Structure formats: structure tokens, C-alpha cells
Structure 1
Amino acid sequence: MNILQLSNRLGYPPKDGGAIGIYNYTKAYHDLGHDVTVLAMNTKKHFYSLSQLPDSYKSLAKINAINVDSSVSVLGALMNLFSTESYHISRFISKDYDEELKALLQNKEYDIVHLDGLHLSPYVETIRQHSKAKVAMRAHNVEYMIWERVAMNGSIWPKSAYLKLLAKRLKKYEAQRLNVYDMLVAITPEDSKIFKEDGCNIPVTVCPAGLDLDQYKVDKTKIESMSLFHLGALDWVPNQQGIKWFLSEVWPKVNSKFPELKFYIAGRNMPKNLLNMNLQNVEVVGEVESAIDFMNSKSIMLVPLLSGSGMRIKIIEGLALEKSIVTTSIGAEGINYEDGKNLLIANNPDEFVTQIERLIADREMVNDLGANARKLIENEYSNFKLVESLVEEYKKMIV
């Protein structure tokens, strides 16, 4: 099949969850023998020079990228108050991107146009006008749910009021667009259920986030015993919110019980308030060269998410590397886990302290959790197998 993959960022470098998801689909489509063309937005937030793309990535697909300024600005946010549009979506509407999309569609016949996320939905009408391809929208999350949860957790007025307005507009837009595609690809069964409840009448299939397991080699030779760590993009609001909550509500209790225990915080685009903080035994690492090497060097992974939707790829990566993971129910959404077997759930400060204490006291539990975590990923989250199954659903559409 000829597949055109549209995304709001390049899939390279595949360092964070968003880029990893995009990259993994490109690679899986290629490895399955399909002809892949990518049209990505190259935004200021995730800008990457096309001249620096490695041949290994360029060999997977024909890579096209258009510079798009999707930056959040105070003026843009204020102006949006006098509009009925969703600010989350309007920032990704680009005339240049639309023109490049038209050119690609006019120059080649595609069987499938893969939209990587809701931000690409405004371009469906252009696809319909210039192509007979079937449109599959891969929903990374139920987007509005993220912002509803963010607004409910820790935001004060007037910020909370503005976030609620954004969530309301985004929910309206997301619902209006549910049936403009030919297929909706949900990342979790929970998301699929919500889409149907919100009025989705087109075919919905579930395709979880997966990994290329050959890239995830477990190495325990340099591990810092009983160290805690968090790894995630710190320009993503749910991650910021979760870390702020953990440092305020949980870490003082953990540090009091275990004064020698260290907590490492790593991730790109670290906010200044985190970079400049000075908490006992908390080390702010910032962006790391290799997420795999960093995770292999630490023991216990903490993911204190209070908001979000979809799946957390960093948790999937941690499971693949046999990490002992403590996260919230929201953090573990979409993963077919068993609490106490593959990872540990904690939804309040005392539960986090208890679960960390259990892991520190029981080395056998740490080893068992890690072994079961890896088995779960091997059995259920192979990216190649997941996308292979999805392609079979595509074939049914284009018969």
C-alpha cells in the first residue's frame, strides 16, 4: 500500500513519547513492505534540521517537512478568548502545510492517509478534495480529557477557568470531528469506549503504543542500587503538574524515612523553577543523551501523573527495561498490567511512600516486578505485530 503519514512534528529524534510513536509507525509501515511518505510539521518547539536527519531514518520513508509556528503566546491566547475556536487546534492550521499536502495528493495516489493525532484533523477536507484515500486517525489521547484533568488538579483561578474553557472548546471540536474519518485508531480500550460514548459511529480499532524491543537491551551492570528517577518531557503540562505535586506532597515524607535515597529528574525542556530548585537529595538532570542508558542506570521509576489520557510510552519503555515502576491509576491507563505483578499503583502521598518503602525493603520483589514487566511488553506490545494487525484492518477498508 501507499501510505501518507501526517504528523505535527518529525518522528526524529525518537526521544519522547510523541516522537517515538510517530517514528515507530513509520518504521513498522516500512518494515511491512509499504511505500511510506511523511508530511510533518517542523515546529519551533520540536524543530529539527532536515539536513541532519540520518540516512537510517530517511531510508524508511520520503520525508517532507514544513515549518509551522505553533507556539503558544500570551497575545494568541488572549485573542482566542474572543473566538469560538479551539486554541489547541487553531495553532496547527497552516496554509503552507495545506499547500504541500495538496501537492503530494495530486502527484501520487495513496491508499491510506494516516493522521497522527487530532491536530491533523483540519486537513481532512483537503484530503477528501484531492484524494480517494481512506483516512485513519490515530488518536494519541482523548485530548479534552487531559485538559479537564489538568484544570481540576491544582490550577488556581483565573488559570483554572481558562483551562476549563480550553477543555470545553476542545471537547466540542473533538466530538464534531469524530465521524469525518474512515477509521478511528484508539490507543487504549478506555479511549475507544469514550469515543463511542461521545458519538463516534465509524469503525474504531484499538492499537496500543508498542516498541521495537530489539532497541531495549536490559543492562544492570551500572545500576545505582535503590535510586529513584522520573523521565519525561517537562514541557508537557501533566508531567510538570505531577512532579510539582510529588516534590511538594510526597518527597518530604520519602526523604524523612530514607535520608540517603536520591531522586533523579530527567527530561527535555526543563522549566526554570525545576532547574533552580534546591531540595535535599533531588538531582535535576535535564535532558539526557540516551533515555535507555539513563533508565538502565537507575532502579525505581516514579510516574506521579494526576492528569493525562492515552498511554505513557515512557512507562512502556521502563517496563521493557525491567524497571520497578510506581505510578498512579491515570499513569497506568491503557496498559494491561496487574498491580503488584508488573508495576505498583499509588494514588496519594501515603501510598507512594508505602510502595517505595516496599521496594527498598524487598529486593526479590524488585527483581520479580522487572521480570514480569519485560514479559508483558514482549507478549503484548511488539510494535511490528501491533501495526501488522492494524494494516489488516486497513486492507478491509480499501477492498
Structure 2
Amino acid sequence: MRLLQLSPQFPFPLTDGGKISIANMTRALVEQGNEVDVFCLTKQIPESELIIQYQAYTGADIHCIQHDTGNSLRSIMLSLFDGTNPLYVRKHRSKLFEEAILLHLRQNQIDGVLCDHSAMAEYGVQVSRSFDIPVIMRMHNIEHVIWQRYAERFHALDPRRLYIGSQASKLKQKEMEYASSMSYCAMITSHDVGILQSMRSNINAIHIPVGVDTKTFYPMGQDKPNQNRLIHATTYDWIHNVEAVDWFIQKVLPSINESYGAELHLLGKHMPERYQDNSTAGLIGHGFVEDMNEMLNTACMYIAPLFVGAGIRIKILEAMAAGLPVIASSISAEGIQASREDGLIICDEADQFIAEISALIMNTEEAKRLGGNARSFILENHSWEKSAQQMIALFKTDV
């Protein structure tokens, strides 16, 4: 099959969960013998060397359309007075992108269109109106749920709650319209399948899990050199990630550092300077690292606090693939169908995090056992090859 894949960002290098999920699905589809043309929005056209690296990694051609999807003051103000189009939808609209997609479809024999995120769904709806081909929306999360959860963190009369809540309501309506117009909605968690189907009965929602590259993330066969070392990786340009890390540093780290000399090692791009200035006992900020697996293999466990979000945390899956037990908040672990015995421990309060971290620091054999179980869980449940096969089956079903 020849497929057209639409992405709201240039999905390379693989520095965050969204890019990892988009690029690896592309790669898996190509490895299954399909041809994939990728169209993406990007604030700046990537350098040719980066495009070459992406093409070598995925085996796909990519067409980059320059468009800034940032939240400008103008776009925020316009969204205040637009009764139907929320900020999230407005900022991903590009006439140039739309024209490029339609031209490509007219000039080539395309068998199906894959829209990554609801941000690309509007283009998918336009395609379905003009071409008799299946269109699948791959929802990495249900975006309006994130906005709803964020709004609920503010006081009832806080203007931010009123604005964000209004945006969530408009986005919910849009996502329901998009989902109803698609041949299928491919959800990366079964949890999100249930949410979507509970809203409208005419939505064809299917669970297609994300995979993990288990040849890149794996236990390196060495004893963990520091049983007091915790690790966390994220991108720090999303406010909810930073808020969660700040919470952990303030509420959890002081206790475990004082009791056990525990260290929290932070990885990821766009890291705030305060995480790297050595001003907090037990906090070590590394920033972006080339070999994530090597760093994971220096730790005894992975921690994942998050209190606003939806979808699935791919970084958790990668840590489990590397043989680490994970201690995560319920929202951070949402969508991962693993149990405590599978190496995924759920905590939502600071004292729970402290107790569970302390228990694993004190019992190294249990930490290793749970880490081994975590690896086994990933091997059994998160294969890119299987996910790509499921996706192709959906396209063929609708052809």
C-alpha cells in the first residue's frame, strides 16, 4: 500500500514521546513493505542533513510545510471570540499545508491517509470529502481531556479556568466531529477507546498500542552501580511536565535524599537552568543525552510524576524495556495496562512516593525482580511490528 501520513510536527530527532510514536509507526509501516509519504508542519524547515537522517531512519519521504503552531497572543485573543474553533484547532490550520496535501493526492495513487493527532484531523475530513480512500485518525491522546484536567487545577472563579474550560468544551465538540467522520480512530490506549465510544456510538475506535524499540532500550547486563539513583526523562517545554518535576523536587526528594542519599537524575531537552545549577541537594540535571539507554541502566528505578495529561507516556515504556521498575502517578501511568507485579507502581501522594521509593532502595533484589518483569511486559505487549500490522489491517478493511 501507499499511504499518506500527516504530522503536526517534524518528527525527528526522537526527543519526545510524540516524535517517537510518529516516526516509529512510519518506520514500522515501511518495514511491512508499504510506501509512506509524510507531510508535516514545522516552524522552521529542518536542515537537509536532519531530513536525510529522518529518511534513513524511517525509509519514508517527508515534505515539510513551514507554519508556526505556537500560542501567539493574537491566536489566543481570536480564540476567545470564536464560538466553534478552539485555539488548538486554529493554530494548526495552514492553507499551504492543505493545498500541498490535496495536490499530492491528485498527482499520486494513495491508498489511505493516516492523521497523527486530532490536530491533523481537519485535513483528513477534507480528504474524505474529495477522495474515496480510507482516512484514519491516530489519537495519541484525547486532547480535550488534557485541557479539561488543566482547567480543573484552577479555582472556580479564576479567569484561566474559565478560558481553558471554554477551550476544552469547544475542542471536545471538534474531536467528536472529527472522530465521527473518520473511517477509524486508532487509539494508543484502550482507556481512550472507552472514553471516545462513550461520547458517540457511531465512532469506530480501535486500540492500536504504541511499540517500544527493544533493541535500543534493554538491560545492559550489569548490576546497577547506584541503588540510590532515580531517573526521569521528559521535555521541559510543556508546563505540566515542569510542574510535576517541581512537585517531586519539593515534596519527595528532600526526604529520600536525607534518609538514603537518593539522587534524582533528570534528562531531556529545554531543561530549566535551576535543575542544573547544583543548588538542590540530590538533584542532578543532565539535559539532553545521546544514549538514553545507557543512562537508564545507571539507575535503580524510574519515577514519573504527572498530574495533567492524557494518552500514554512512552518514556515509561522505554524505562520498563530497559529493565527498570517504574513509580508513577495514576495520570502518568494512564493507558499502560501493567500491574504492580509487572513493575509499574502507582502513587499519587508524596508520602506514597516516599514509601515506595524507600522500599525499593532497601530491597535491591525486589527492585531487580520487578525490573525484569517490566522488561517482559514490554516484550509481550508493545511491539511496533504488531502495531503496524494492525494499522494496515484497518486500511485494508476499509478499502
- Classify the TM-score, shorter chain: over 0.9
* Alpha-carbon distance in structure 2 between the residues aligned to 1:191 and 1:68: 29
Q: SS at the partner of 1:53?
A: helix
CA-CA distance at 1:71 after TM superposition: 1.2
Alignment of 1:312-351 (within 5 A): 312-351=313-352
Distance 1:154 1:274, change over 3 A: farther
CA-CA distance at 1:272 after TM superposition: 5.0
Q: Cα deviation per residue 1:305-364 (whole Å; 9 max; x = unaligned)?
A: 112111110001011000121001221111121124322111111100000001100011
* Alpha-carbon distance in structure 2 between the residues aligned to 1:18 and 1:195: 20
Q: SS at the partner of 2:3?
A: strand
* Alpha-carbon distance in structure 2 between the residues aligned to 1:277 and 1:177: 47
CA-CA distance at 1:43 after TM superposition: 2.6
> What residue number does 1:67 align with?
66
Letter of the 1:238 partner, please give it: H
- Structure 1 stretches of 4+ moved >6 Å: none
Letter of the 1:375 partner, please give it: S
> What residue number does 1:250 align with?
252
Could you state the TM-score of these two structures normalised by the residue count of structure 2? Answer: 0.93
Letter of the 1:270 partner, please give it: M
- Tell me if structure 2 keeps the 8 A contact 1:250–1:349: yes
Distance 1:10 1:166, change over 3 A: same
Letter of the 2:72 partner, please give it: S
> What residue number does 1:6 align with?
6
* Alpha-carbon distance in structure 1 between the residues aligned to 2:51 and 2:160: 39
* Alpha-carbon distance in structure 1 between the residues aligned to 2:274 and 2:160: 18
- Tell me if structure 1 keeps the 8 A contact 2:240–2:307: yes
CA root-mean-square deviation: 2.1
CA-CA distance at 1:394 after TM superposition: 2.0
- Tell me if structure 1 keeps the 8 A contact 2:15–2:268: no
Alignment of 1:229-378 (within 5 A): 229-258=231-260, 260-271=261-272, 274=275, 278-378=279-379
Structure 1 range deviating more: 276-285 or 9-18: 276-285
Structure 1 range deviating more: 380-389 or 353-362: 380-389
Q: Cα deviation per residue 1:23-45 (whole Å; 9 max; x = unaligned)?
A: 1111111010011111111235x
> What residue number does 2:29 align with?
29
Could you state the TM-score of these two structures normalised by the residue count of structure 1? Answer: 0.93
Identity, % of aligned pairs?
Answer: 27
Distance 1:322 1:52, change over 3 A: same
* Alpha-carbon distance in structure 1 between the residues aligned to 2:166 and 2:280: 35
Unaligned runs of 5+ residues in structure 2 are none
CA-CA distance at 1:298 after TM superposition: 2.2
* Alpha-carbon distance in structure 2 between the residues aligned to 1:22 and 1:154: 32
Q: SS at the partner of 1:294?
A: helix
* Alpha-carbon distance in structure 1 between the residues aligned to 2:236 and 2:93: 25
* Alpha-carbon distance in structure 2 between the residues aligned to 1:136 and 1:226: 45
> What residue number does 2:119 align with?
119
* Alpha-carbon distance in structure 2 between the residues aligned to 1:350 and 1:374: 27
> What residue number does 2:219 align with?
218
Q: Cα deviation per residue 1:356-382 (whole Å; 9 max; x = unaligned)?
A: 001100011111111000000111111
Alignment of 1:98-177 (within 5 A): 98-153=98-153, 157-177=158-178
Structure 1 range deviating more: 141-150 or 155-164: 155-164
Letter of the 2:270 partner, please give it: N
The count of residues paired between Structure 1 and Structure 2 equals 395
- Tell me if structure 1 keeps the 8 A contact 2:275–2:284: no
Unaligned runs of 5+ residues in structure 1 are none
- Tell me if structure 1 keeps the 8 A contact 2:267–2:286: yes
Letter of the 1:317 partner, please give it: E
* Alpha-carbon distance in structure 1 between the residues aligned to 2:12 and 2:155: 33
* Alpha-carbon distance in structure 1 between the residues aligned to 2:19 and 2:295: 18
Alignment of 1:46-85 (within 5 A): 48-54=46-52, 57-58=55-56, 60-84=59-83, 85=85
* Alpha-carbon distance in structure 1 between the residues aligned to 2:266 and 2:153: 21
